[in-house]
Structure 1
Protein backbone atom coordinates (compact mmCIF):
# COMPACT_ATOMS: atom_id res chain seq x y z
CA UNK A 1 0.00 0.00 0.00
CA UNK A 2 1.27 3.42 -0.96
CA UNK A 3 1.40 5.90 1.92
CA UNK A 4 0.17 9.48 1.73
CA UNK A 5 3.77 10.70 2.07
CA UNK A 6 4.81 8.67 -0.99
CA UNK A 7 1.86 10.05 -2.96
CA UNK A 8 2.70 13.63 -1.99
CA UNK A 9 6.40 13.25 -2.77
CA UNK A 10 5.60 11.70 -6.15
CA UNK A 11 3.14 14.51 -6.84
CA UNK A 12 5.87 17.06 -6.10
CA UNK A 13 8.31 15.19 -8.35
CA UNK A 14 5.94 15.65 -11.29
CA UNK A 15 4.96 19.22 -10.42
CA UNK A 16 8.61 20.24 -9.95
CA UNK A 17 8.86 20.13 -13.75
CA UNK A 18 7.01 23.46 -13.79
CA UNK A 19 10.24 25.04 -12.54
CA UNK A 20 11.28 24.95 -16.19
CA UNK A 21 8.85 27.76 -16.90
CA UNK A 22 10.76 29.92 -14.38
CA UNK A 23 14.38 28.71 -14.48
CA UNK A 24 16.40 27.41 -17.44
CA UNK A 25 16.56 23.60 -17.25
CA UNK A 26 14.43 23.73 -14.10
CA UNK A 27 12.10 21.16 -15.63
CA UNK A 28 15.00 18.70 -15.59
CA UNK A 29 16.68 19.75 -12.36
CA UNK A 30 13.51 19.73 -10.23
CA UNK A 31 12.53 16.11 -10.94
CA UNK A 32 16.21 15.05 -10.96
CA UNK A 33 16.73 16.44 -7.45
CA UNK A 34 13.51 14.76 -6.29
CA UNK A 35 14.61 11.46 -7.84
CA UNK A 36 18.16 11.51 -6.44
CA UNK A 37 16.97 12.49 -2.96
CA UNK A 38 14.21 9.87 -2.76
CA UNK A 39 15.21 6.98 -5.03
CA UNK A 40 16.25 4.72 -2.15
CA UNK A 41 13.30 5.55 0.12
CA UNK A 42 10.40 4.08 -1.84
CA UNK A 43 9.93 2.20 -5.09
CA UNK A 44 6.77 4.23 -5.80
CA UNK A 45 8.59 7.55 -5.40
CA UNK A 46 11.57 6.25 -7.40
CA UNK A 47 9.35 5.10 -10.26
CA UNK A 48 7.36 8.34 -10.48
CA UNK A 49 10.31 10.69 -10.14
CA UNK A 50 12.39 8.64 -12.62
CA UNK A 51 9.56 8.83 -15.15
CA UNK A 52 9.32 12.59 -14.61
CA UNK A 53 13.07 12.96 -15.20
CA UNK A 54 12.97 10.85 -18.36
CA UNK A 55 9.95 12.73 -19.70
CA UNK A 56 11.54 16.12 -19.16
CA UNK A 57 14.88 15.04 -20.64
CA UNK A 58 13.06 13.65 -23.69
CA UNK A 59 10.94 16.78 -24.06
CA UNK A 60 14.03 19.01 -23.85
CA UNK A 61 15.79 16.91 -26.49
CA UNK A 62 12.77 17.14 -28.81
CA UNK A 63 12.60 20.93 -28.42
CA UNK A 64 16.35 21.30 -29.09
CA UNK A 65 16.02 19.21 -32.26
CA UNK A 66 13.03 21.25 -33.44
CA UNK A 67 14.89 24.47 -32.65
CA UNK A 68 17.83 23.28 -34.73
CA UNK A 69 15.45 22.49 -37.60
CA UNK A 70 13.89 25.95 -37.31
CA UNK A 71 17.26 27.76 -37.31
CA UNK A 72 17.95 27.55 -41.09
CA UNK A 73 14.42 28.64 -41.97
CA UNK A 74 14.53 31.66 -39.67
CA UNK A 75 17.97 32.88 -40.66
CA UNK A 76 17.47 32.10 -44.34
CA UNK A 77 14.35 34.22 -44.35
CA UNK A 78 16.10 37.00 -42.39
CA UNK A 79 19.16 37.11 -44.66
CA UNK A 80 16.97 37.02 -47.74
CA UNK A 81 15.27 40.15 -46.39
CA UNK A 82 18.61 41.86 -45.71
CA UNK A 83 20.09 41.09 -49.13
CA UNK A 84 16.94 42.21 -50.94
CA UNK A 85 16.38 45.40 -48.97
CA UNK A 86 16.63 47.44 -52.17
CA UNK A 87 13.33 45.89 -53.31
CA UNK A 88 11.45 47.81 -50.64
CA UNK A 89 11.24 50.82 -52.97
CA UNK A 90 8.99 48.76 -55.23
CA UNK A 91 6.80 47.57 -52.33
CA UNK A 92 7.71 43.95 -52.98
CA UNK A 93 7.48 41.41 -50.20
CA UNK A 94 11.11 40.32 -49.72
CA UNK A 95 10.50 37.19 -47.64
CA UNK A 96 10.42 33.79 -49.23
CA UNK A 97 7.30 31.92 -48.26
CA UNK A 98 9.25 28.71 -47.60
CA UNK A 99 11.50 30.24 -44.95
CA UNK A 100 8.71 32.05 -43.19
CA UNK A 101 6.34 29.09 -43.47
CA UNK A 102 8.98 26.70 -42.13
CA UNK A 103 9.72 28.95 -39.18
CA UNK A 104 6.06 29.41 -38.30
CA UNK A 105 5.32 25.71 -38.75
CA UNK A 106 8.07 24.56 -36.41
CA UNK A 107 7.27 27.33 -33.90
CA UNK A 108 3.65 26.15 -33.93
CA UNK A 109 4.73 22.55 -33.32
CA UNK A 110 6.91 23.69 -30.40
CA UNK A 111 3.94 25.61 -28.96
CA UNK A 112 1.63 22.60 -29.23
CA UNK A 113 4.23 20.33 -27.63
CA UNK A 114 4.61 22.80 -24.75
CA UNK A 115 0.85 22.82 -24.12
CA UNK A 116 0.78 19.00 -24.28
CA UNK A 117 3.70 18.88 -21.83
CA UNK A 118 1.79 21.11 -19.42
CA UNK A 119 -1.27 18.85 -19.62
CA UNK A 120 0.74 15.63 -19.25
CA UNK A 121 2.50 16.93 -16.14
CA UNK A 122 -0.86 17.69 -14.54
CA UNK A 123 -2.26 14.27 -15.49
CA UNK A 124 0.82 12.54 -14.06
CA UNK A 125 0.61 14.58 -10.85
CA UNK A 126 -3.07 13.69 -10.39
CA UNK A 127 -2.33 10.00 -10.98
CA UNK A 128 0.54 10.12 -8.46
CA UNK A 129 -1.73 11.75 -5.87
CA UNK A 130 -4.11 8.80 -6.32
CA UNK A 131 -1.33 6.27 -5.81
CA UNK A 132 -0.95 5.34 -9.49
CA UNK A 133 2.12 5.45 -11.71
CA UNK A 134 1.69 7.37 -14.95
CA UNK A 135 3.59 6.37 -18.08
CA UNK A 136 4.37 9.42 -20.19
CA UNK A 137 4.12 8.90 -23.98
CA UNK A 138 7.12 9.08 -26.34
CA UNK A 139 9.74 8.96 -23.60
CA UNK A 140 13.36 7.92 -24.02
CA UNK A 141 14.58 6.08 -20.91
CA UNK A 142 17.74 8.00 -20.08
CA UNK A 143 17.57 7.10 -16.38
CA UNK A 144 17.02 3.41 -15.71
CA UNK A 145 16.24 1.50 -12.49
Structure 2
Protein backbone atom coordinates (compact mmCIF):
# COMPACT_ATOMS: atom_id res chain seq x y z
CA UNK A 1 0.00 0.00 0.00
CA UNK A 2 1.17 3.49 -0.77
CA UNK A 3 0.49 6.77 1.02
CA UNK A 4 -1.27 9.26 -1.24
CA UNK A 5 -2.61 12.24 0.69
CA UNK A 6 -3.35 14.14 -2.51
CA UNK A 7 -5.76 11.45 -3.69
CA UNK A 8 -7.45 11.50 -0.27
CA UNK A 9 -7.77 15.29 -0.56
CA UNK A 10 -9.24 15.02 -4.06
CA UNK A 11 -11.67 12.34 -2.90
CA UNK A 12 -13.05 14.69 -0.23
CA UNK A 13 -13.23 17.63 -2.62
CA UNK A 14 -15.07 15.55 -5.26
CA UNK A 15 -18.13 15.83 -3.03
CA UNK A 16 -18.37 19.46 -4.14
CA UNK A 17 -19.24 18.29 -7.67
CA UNK A 18 -22.86 18.33 -6.58
CA UNK A 19 -22.69 22.13 -6.35
CA UNK A 20 -21.14 22.41 -9.81
CA UNK A 21 -22.90 19.73 -11.86
CA UNK A 22 -25.90 18.80 -9.71
CA UNK A 23 -24.67 15.24 -9.25
CA UNK A 24 -21.42 13.37 -8.79
CA UNK A 25 -20.88 14.15 -5.11
CA UNK A 26 -21.60 10.53 -4.27
CA UNK A 27 -20.66 8.75 -7.49
CA UNK A 28 -17.10 10.02 -7.99
CA UNK A 29 -15.89 9.42 -4.40
CA UNK A 30 -17.58 6.00 -4.49
CA UNK A 31 -15.68 5.04 -7.65
CA UNK A 32 -12.37 6.35 -6.26
CA UNK A 33 -12.92 4.54 -2.96
CA UNK A 34 -13.94 1.26 -4.63
CA UNK A 35 -10.93 1.22 -6.94
CA UNK A 36 -8.28 2.52 -4.51
CA UNK A 37 -9.26 1.23 -1.06
CA UNK A 38 -6.79 -1.65 -1.22
CA UNK A 39 -4.02 0.39 -2.84
CA UNK A 40 -3.89 3.66 -0.86
CA UNK A 41 -3.18 3.86 2.85
CA UNK A 42 -6.23 5.10 4.85
CA UNK A 43 -8.44 5.27 1.72
CA UNK A 44 -10.82 2.71 3.23
CA UNK A 45 -11.50 4.88 6.32
CA UNK A 46 -11.82 8.10 4.33
CA UNK A 47 -14.01 6.50 1.67
CA UNK A 48 -16.38 4.99 4.23
CA UNK A 49 -16.73 8.37 5.97
CA UNK A 50 -17.48 10.12 2.66
CA UNK A 51 -20.03 7.55 1.48
CA UNK A 52 -21.77 7.50 4.87
CA UNK A 53 -21.89 11.32 4.86
CA UNK A 54 -23.29 11.54 1.33
CA UNK A 55 -25.95 8.88 1.97
CA UNK A 56 -26.90 10.66 5.20
CA UNK A 57 -27.27 13.96 3.34
CA UNK A 58 -29.58 12.30 0.81
CA UNK A 59 -31.78 10.89 3.58
CA UNK A 60 -31.89 14.20 5.45
CA UNK A 61 -32.81 16.01 2.22
CA UNK A 62 -35.66 13.57 1.59
CA UNK A 63 -36.88 14.17 5.16
CA UNK A 64 -36.72 17.97 4.71
CA UNK A 65 -38.86 18.02 1.56
CA UNK A 66 -42.21 17.23 3.25
CA UNK A 67 -41.21 19.45 6.19
CA UNK A 68 -41.38 22.47 3.87
CA UNK A 69 -45.14 22.33 4.35
CA UNK A 70 -44.70 22.41 8.15
CA UNK A 71 -44.08 26.13 8.66
CA UNK A 72 -41.09 26.13 6.33
CA UNK A 73 -38.95 23.97 8.64
CA UNK A 74 -37.79 22.00 5.61
CA UNK A 75 -36.37 25.12 4.00
CA UNK A 76 -34.33 25.85 7.12
CA UNK A 77 -33.19 22.22 7.16
CA UNK A 78 -32.16 22.36 3.50
CA UNK A 79 -30.16 25.55 4.11
CA UNK A 80 -28.35 23.93 7.05
CA UNK A 81 -27.66 20.81 4.99
CA UNK A 82 -26.33 22.96 2.15
CA UNK A 83 -23.89 24.75 4.45
CA UNK A 84 -22.77 21.49 6.07
CA UNK A 85 -22.30 19.80 2.67
CA UNK A 86 -20.16 22.73 1.50
CA UNK A 87 -18.01 23.28 4.60
CA UNK A 88 -17.19 19.79 5.86
CA UNK A 89 -15.74 18.32 2.65
CA UNK A 90 -13.30 21.25 2.60
CA UNK A 91 -12.46 20.88 6.32
CA UNK A 92 -11.90 17.15 5.92
CA UNK A 93 -9.83 17.63 2.76
CA UNK A 94 -7.47 19.80 4.80
CA UNK A 95 -7.44 17.15 7.54
CA UNK A 96 -6.65 14.46 4.95
CA UNK A 97 -3.75 16.48 3.58
CA UNK A 98 -2.34 16.67 7.11
CA UNK A 99 -2.74 12.94 7.70
CA UNK A 100 -5.76 13.14 10.03
CA UNK A 101 -8.90 11.03 9.84
CA UNK A 102 -12.14 12.73 8.72
CA UNK A 103 -15.10 13.53 10.93
CA UNK A 104 -18.46 14.38 9.39
CA UNK A 105 -21.36 15.62 11.54
CA UNK A 106 -24.80 13.99 11.35
CA UNK A 107 -23.31 11.04 9.49
CA UNK A 108 -25.16 7.75 9.83
CA UNK A 109 -23.13 4.52 9.63
CA UNK A 110 -24.30 2.61 6.57
CA UNK A 111 -20.86 1.17 5.87
CA UNK A 112 -18.81 0.19 8.89
For residue 79 of structure 1, what is the aligned residue in structure 2?
none
Contact 2:38 2:44 in 1 (8 A): yes
Contact 1:16 1:27 in 2 (8 A): yes
Contact 1:38 1:45 in 2 (8 A): yes
For residue 89 of structure 2, what is the aligned residue in structure 1?
121
Taking structure 1 as the reference length, what is the TM-score of the superposition? 0.69
Higher Cα radius of gyration: 1
Taking structure 2 as the reference length, what is the TM-score of the superposition? 0.87
Q: CA RMSD in A?
A: 1.7
Secondary structure of the 1:27 match is coil
Q: Which of the pair is proportionally richer in helix?
A: 1
Runs of 4+ in 1 over 6 A off after TM superposition: none
TM superposition shift of 1:136: 1.1
TM superposition shift of 1:68: 2.6
Tell me, in whole angstroms, the C-alpha distance in 1 between the residues paired with 2:109 and 2:80: 23
Tell me, in whole angstroms, the C-alpha distance in 1 between the residues paired with 2:31 and 2:111: 13
Tell me, in whole angstroms, the C-alpha distance in 2 between the residues paired with 1:108 and 1:32: 28
Runs (5+) with no aligned partner, structure 1:
74-98
Runs (5+) with no aligned partner, structure 2:
none
Q: How many residues align?
A: 111
